[in-house]
Amino acid sequence: MLTATRVCPFWIGYLLISPVRTFLQNAEKILNPYITSGMRVLDIGCGMGFFSLPMAGMVGSTGKVLCIDIQKKMIHSLEKRAKKAGLSDRIETHVCPQNSLGLQDLHEDVDFALAFAVIHEVPRVHQFFSEVNKALKPSGILLIAEPKGHVSKKTFDTTIAVAQQYGFKGVSAPKIWRSRTILLRKGAIIG
């Protein structure tokens, strides 16, 4: 069973939104193939919004970005950044409890979900995939990227196997700097 060992400290959030990271991992280039105007997208473990703000631009005025994080300080920082960027109306934030993603109100509502450098911090990986599967539309996709420095290939392969148990099918492995990646398409809802 996969379980988390630690959660990224709040202060790391400032490093994760740095311009240097944008040069190495350009959010718009990474997400452009998957997000279009009008979509409802989910940023799981959004932190201070490195991906959330570009996603808000991509979904346009008719779309919505649902941002969830376990840390209230991360969400607060994201909200301030979204307001400054004029994107608050496209972003909905939620602090999730430690034992769930808090997606109970979402049932086949989400077109695209992103889990970037977060699954290795999730305490209940089976529950994670069950909740995301239920939130995604029948044609929904989930992009997972885990840092090579934290997650071994064996652990990543185990994560993919768990995802498959919950109805996800591998589509591709996009190239993202220093990341182990997989793009998954939702299959049948299980559980």
Q: Distance between CA 129 and CA 55 in Å, rounded?
A: 22
**Mean of pLDDT values over 143-160:** 96
Domain assignment present for residue 117? The answer is yes
Q: Which residue has the tokens 């509502």?
A: 109
pLDDT (mean) for 35-40: 98
List pLDDT tens digits, range 54-98: 999 999 999 999 999 999 999 999 999 999 999 999 999 999 988
The pLDDT of residue 187 is: 79
- Residue 34, helix vs strand vs coil: coil
Q: Is the pLDDT of residue 1 over 70?
A: no
Any idea what the CATH number is for the domain that residue 91 is in? 3.40.50.150
CB atoms within 10 A of CB 37: 11
Asked if residue 69 lies in contact with residue 45, where contact means CB atoms within 8 angstroms, the answer is: yes
In a domain, 84, yes or no: yes
Structural domain includes residue 3: no
For 95, the domain range is: 26-186
CB neighbours of residue 115 within 10 Å: 24
pLDDT at 9: 62
- Kindly state whether residue 96 falls inside one of the protein's structural domains: yes
Answer yes or no: is 16 within a domain. Answer: no
Instruction: Round to whole Å and give the CA distance between 142 and 39.
Output: 14
Instruction: Count up the domains in the chain and report the number.
Output: 1
Indicate whether 1 belongs to any domain.
Answer: no
Residue 182 confidence (pLDDT) above 90: yes
Indicate whether 11 pLDDT > 70: no
179 confidence band (pLDDT: 50, 70, 90): very high
In this structure, what token pair is assigned to residue 93?
């934030």
| pLDDT at residue 154 greater than cutoff 80 | yes
Band (13; pLDDT cuts 50, 70, 90): low
Within a domain: 37: yes
Per-residue model confidence as pLDDT tens digits over 98-123: 889 999 899 999 999 999 999 998 88
Query: Which amino acid type is present at position 85?
Result: A
Is the pLDDT assigned to residue 131 strictly greater than 70?
yes
6 lies in some domain: no
Computed over every residue of the chain, the mean pLDDT equals: 89
The answer on pLDDT for 31 being more than 50 is yes
From residue 158, how far is each of 2, 110, 114, 170, 179 by CA, in Å? 8, 25, 18, 13, 16
E strand or H helix that includes residue 116: strand 110-116
Confidence band, pLDDT 50/70/90 cuts, at residue 16: low
- Is residue 152 scored above 90 in pLDDT? yes
